Structure 1
């Protein structure tokens, strides 16, 4: 039987239908993924006449079969985050680089991470999916960067089973500013019952949106802190952006001076809405927060935020001491 040709195709949906896992594919050709989120790139690709006329679905096993015949780039750094905290800015800066493939919050990866597949089958499917995203569709790609959904901090140990040596970072922000953003326009994980079971659940009744958002945010930040502490993740505060991309994050991502300059062009635009100019909003968000929201955030989310800050600052101090020691030995 002839092998199917998937050149230019990417998986856009994975689901379970009557006990059989299926993959929905879309043809992207050599178009780079420059949109803020993978779903935006999918929407654009689905408007192409080719994709309106021809769709392709396969069993889940097609991912591993294709990986065996045409392995893609291994994933480089993973980006984890607390949501509404600058992670999209980081991914959009990297997406400016022609030799980077940046896949931001792909729903198929979330579907596999939170699936009930047997562990070996799930690991193989995840590896096959990331290999598909890592295909050199333009020819010069050298790095694959994956940004996960915020709630995938709960599935991070599963992904580490597949890519235990891959560097990763956790981006976060003052929790009151994150909470105000979700009060304005809540993400999936901040609406009761929308996401399903996840690490953010505490199993307790809640009183109003302020209580629900603050408690979930606290658990998210705590999980980020624990995994950074125990798993070597780099803690990055929103306050460090975008300047850090020309500093210690340039080292983390392996960027040269020219790449840093190109990446910085993304900072003029709003990361999630590229047609708009970016305007700092931290002060506005803090002023907007109600007394109730402030109290709930202080109670549930302030302690893990401070723990992350202590970890970040201790790491920075250690790096300075190491650099100073290296210079003194010259």
Structure 2
């Protein structure tokens, strides 16, 4: 892998990994050319790009300063919206709907962004340059690689809601959405198929280390419900204190072109095309979507129901009250 200096031209290249090296933080770049980001997750687009013979023969890595210099030399689009979520609540669907619009660049949980948001948790010195590096990273993703892109929309990882105040401070005018659903359904989904945040310690340093310090001693059900409750609480704080817009899973997909259409830059007349996309499963686009809310609720045991009531129902109910008032204010 070739290590490059800050004067190199990164047109057509995107960051795919950011990590703490022996001496400094490094950025791994991959050639995308004009390849659009259309797959359910950024890592899926990376996997496709890495199959190119060019990327198998040549890779680039740089320091953080090169990222900052590239922003100064070739500033990209700034975010048009930030999508936070509680997981398993339609955020991938919304991202796929937006990615189907040719003028959008949609980032769906890019690992370098997550790494940078949590960098100070493993390197206190990173706090000094984190803000500037975040803006430079998103500028790199916001490059107009085809020339007709008009919006950069960013879907973050579920646990990044704890870093939402930082992004709100960096981008005070950018709309922030928080997607969520009935916590019983989220918990049932997590118990059936665990996400990284459901396994204590798997994420590495995160806000959960402080919020749930005795995680290793908790049972699976308790930890899962408390974890979901903490994310919902952070989402509530985002909406109450940082202008976040609350969006319930039950509103999708219609809210994307309905009450949120102007927020997300959905052009008039796009509803029909977006409905055609919404027919398919967001995470497995080759399959038709099948609603599963009722099945998730039916499979929840009384132990799970009680734990959800104890740890996650209160912030969910508060979000619902806030959402209804916001929807009324927006005329939706």
Query: What TM-score bracket applies, with the shorter chain setting the length?
Result: over 0.9
Does residue 138 of the first structure (1) align with residue 149 of the second (2)?
A: no
1:287 to 273, 286, 298: 298
- The equivalent of 1:224 in structure 2 is 235
Question: In the TM superposition, what is the alpha-carbon distance from 1:234 to its structure 2 partner?
Answer: 0.5
Unaligned runs of at least 5 residues, structure 2: none
Partners of 2:154 and 2:306 lie apart in 1 by: 35
Q: How does 1:123-272 map onto structure 2 within 5 Å?
A: 123-200=131-208, 201-204=211-214, 206-272=217-283
Deviates more, 1:257-266 or 1:48-57: 257-266
Question: In the TM superposition, what is the alpha-carbon distance from 1:266 to its structure 2 partner?
Answer: 1.7
Partners of 1:128 and 1:175 lie apart in 2 by: 35
Deviates more, 1:159-168 or 1:171-180: 159-168
Deviates more, 1:246-255 or 1:106-115: 246-255
- The equivalent of 1:38 in structure 2 is 42
- The equivalent of 1:105 in structure 2 is 109
TM-score, length basis structure 2: 0.93
Does residue 87 of the first structure (1) align with residue 87 of the second (2)?
A: no
Question: In the TM superposition, what is the alpha-carbon distance from 1:319 to its structure 2 partner?
Answer: 3.1
Deviates more, 1:2-11 or 1:131-140: 2-11
Structure 1 residues 206-264: Cα deviation after superposition (integer angstroms, max 9, x where no partner): 43211110001001101100110111110000000011123101122122223333322
Question: In the TM superposition, what is the alpha-carbon distance from 1:313 to its structure 2 partner?
Answer: 0.6
TM-score, length basis structure 1: 0.94
1:115 to 97, 112, 119: 119
Does residue 59 of the first structure (1) align with residue 69 of the second (2)?
A: no
Partners of 1:88 and 1:118 lie apart in 2 by: 30
When the two structures are aligned, how many residues end up with a matched partner?
321
Partners of 1:101 and 1:264 lie apart in 2 by: 19
Taking only aligned residues, the RMSD between alpha carbons, in angstroms, comes to 1.5
Question: In the TM superposition, what is the alpha-carbon distance from 1:190 to its structure 2 partner?
Answer: 0.7
Question: In the TM superposition, what is the alpha-carbon distance from 1:272 to its structure 2 partner?
Answer: 0.7
Partner of 1:255, secondary structure, is coil
Partners of 1:96 and 1:258 lie apart in 2 by: 14
1:77 to 55, 75, 81: 81
> Runs (4+) of structure 1 moved beyond 6 Å?
none
- The equivalent of 1:328 in structure 2 is none
Structure 1 residues 12-64: Cα deviation after superposition (integer angstroms, max 9, x where no partner): 00001113111100001101000000011001111111101111111111111
**Contact 1:93/1:265 (8 A) holds in 2:** no
Partner of 1:144, secondary structure, is strand
**Distance verdict in 2 for CA 1:79–1:291, change over 3 Å:** same
Unaligned runs of at least 5 residues, structure 1: 324-330
Partner of 1:277, secondary structure, is coil
